[in-house]
């Protein structure tokens, strides 16, 4: 979906964003977006590592019965 935008589309989006928010707000918005993205990645990696740990624990313990 986003792969069809291209360079002209990105330039138009950036210009519209600049008009709407102004040059003073853009660094704040970019910083907030970056922090949100890094927090999401950190949480996703944490969940994935928890699943791997759980799988190892399940494989190491013999079945009860």
pTM for this structure?
Answer: 0.54
Output the tens digit of pLDDT for each of the chain's 65 residues: 556 878 899 889 889 988 998 888 888 988 999 999 999 999 989 888 877 777 777 766 666 65
Number of domains composing the chain: 1
Q: Is residue 50 part of a domain?
A: yes
Contact status, residue 15 vs residue 22, Cβ threshold 8 Å: no
Q: Is residue 6 part of a domain?
A: no
Q: Is residue 42 part of a domain?
A: yes
Note down the domain range covering 46. 23-55
Q: Is residue 36 part of a domain?
A: yes
Residue 47 CA to residue 58 CA, distance in Å, equals 16
Q: Is residue 37 part of a domain?
A: yes
Q: Is residue 30 part of a domain?
A: yes
Q: Is residue 31 part of a domain?
A: yes
C-alpha distance from residue 23 to each of 16, 19, 30, 42, 45 (Å): 12, 8, 11, 30, 34
């Amino acid at each position: 979906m986003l792969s069809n935008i291209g360079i002209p589309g990105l330039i138009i989006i950036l210009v519209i964003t600049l008009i709407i928010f102004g040059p003073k707000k853009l660094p704040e918005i970019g910083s907030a977006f970056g922090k949100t993205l890094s927090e999401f990645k950190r949480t996703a990696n944490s969940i994935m590592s928890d699943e791997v740990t759980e799988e190892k624990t399940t494989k190491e313990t013999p079945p009860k019965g």
